[in-house]
Amino acid sequence: MAPVNGSAVMLAVGDIILDEPGLAPCFDSSRAALRAADLAIGHVEVPHTTRGIQQKTAVPAPPADPRHLEALPEAGFDLITLAANHAYDQGDPGVRDTIDTLRGLGLATVGTGMTLAEARQPAVVERQGLRFGVLSYNTVGPAESWAGPAKAGCAYLRVITHYEHDHHSPGAPPTVYTFTPLADVEALAEDVAALRSRCDVLTVAFHKGVVHTPATVLEYEKQIARAAIDAGADVVIGHHAHILRGIEIYRGKPIYHGLGNFVCVTKALSYDASNDSPERRAWALRRRKMFGFEPDPEYPLYPFHPEAKQTIIAKCVVDGRGGVEARFLPAYVDKQYQPEVLARDERGEQVFAYMERISREAGLKASFAWDGDEVVVRAGQAPGGCGQSL
């Protein structure tokens, strides 16, 4: 690709759930950082429609008012990924209205469509003379959320789970293996290759991972993230787990395995009278036992793992030839559900140490160092101890 002039900053955040009205102030503490970026990417988790038809897709998310999405361009977002397990929870209207509303607000979208061909189409936007290409895939099901040749939904990769009883204790926990079928990996590679000549910086977003579980990065997550890099991607970002995951540098390219929550305000996972769905209340109770956590009672509209209050904003500084320097901004979700961007103070150091620890526990090779109030991510084994400086 011919060299280009200029440089740019791309930011990316994790899950955004805007179920309640009046949530624009939740972006107040991050607005300056998002607006300062040349490109800001977010992930919208649930369909926004007033005419949805609830589907039988596991535990479907309730429809959110399309007007709630008006907070996103005001906050500074430019592009929204949509491939997710809840993409088809409100049927065709949910897919159509979410896309149309976001695009009507001037935001690019990627990852869903009225057909699979549409869902696999990338988004390409130009900033500072650089072309940014983005692809978005869901890996966590349910199959009903997937787009088809004549069906609306999301772009997807299948994941196979194999339980191996490798010891002689009936009923004991098995070893679990996960992998993505070769055909799906090859389809991903084809999409990346087709986009590569159209952009200077190529990002692949995956909705992936085990929810509400600290540190864990499964085999298939590493498989598909590294496959995307092998195929030509420059950056990989993950979301869905509703809790941070670690970071690795693979072949010189950053993989943010899970960006955690950003602004997520919902009653859909509450287990009190504020949740008007018996089905969703039952799931809210079941997941507490399944994943072994209790939401913080001081955060009634934030029904997630207590560690999910820590979050980050991925920052990629792109030079004029498309080279990427990986960084992140530590942040913390306060009691007003605002992700506050932190300085290098005691709280910032806590998020730094958390990212360092979960990356190490997941077996991800990366090193972290402070540069002012930002953290630079480089190749190598994550160091122990306090935050280092450049």
Q: Please state, in angstroms and rounded to a whole number, the distance separating the CA atoms of residues 368 and 319.
A: 20
Structural domains of the chain ordered from first start = 8-389 (3.60.21.10)
- Answer yes or no: are the C-beta atoms of 348 and 369 closer than 8 Å: no
Q: Residue 369 forms beta bridges with which residues?
A: 376, 388
| Spacing of C-alpha 335 from chain mean position | 22
Please report, for the chain, how many H helices and E strands are present, in that order. 8, 21
Determine how many CB atoms are found less than 10 A away from the CB of residue 58: 15
Per-residue pLDDT of the chain (390 residues; tens, 9 = 90+): 333 456 899 999 999 999 999 999 999 999 999 999 999 999 999 999 999 888 876 777 889 999 999 999 999 999 999 999 999 999 999 999 999 999 999 999 999 999 999 999 999 999 999 999 999 999 998 999 999 999 999 999 999 999 998 777 888 889 999 999 999 999 999 999 999 999 999 999 999 999 999 999 999 999 999 999 999 999 999 999 999 999 999 999 999 999 999 999 998 877 776 777 777 778 777 888 888 889 999 999 999 999 999 999 999 999 988 899 999 999 999 999 999 999 999 999 999 999 999 999 999 999 999 999 999 999 986 444 445 566
Q: Please state, in angstroms and rounded to a whole number, the distance separating the CA atoms of residues 11 and 21.
A: 25
The distance between the two most distant Cα atoms of the chain, rounded to a whole number of Å, is 63
Q: Please state, in angstroms and rounded to a whole number, the distance separating the CA atoms of residues 41 and 32.
A: 15
- 49 phi, psi to nearest 5 deg: -160, 155
Distances (CA, A) of 71 to 106, 190, 251, 340, 363: 12, 35, 37, 17, 37
pLDDT, position 215: 97
pLDDT, position 273: 64
Start-to-end CA span in the chain (Å): 32
pLDDT, position 113: 98
Q: Residue 67: which region, alpha, beta or left (left: phi > 0; alpha: psi -120 to 50)?
A: alpha
Q: Please state, in angstroms and rounded to a whole number, the distance separating the CA atoms of residues 238 and 260.
A: 8
Q: Please state, in angstroms and rounded to a whole number, the distance separating the CA atoms of residues 139 and 85.
A: 8
Q: Residue 90: which of 122, 65, 120 has the closest Cα? A: 65
- Answer yes or no: are the C-beta atoms of 375 and 367 closer than 8 Å: no
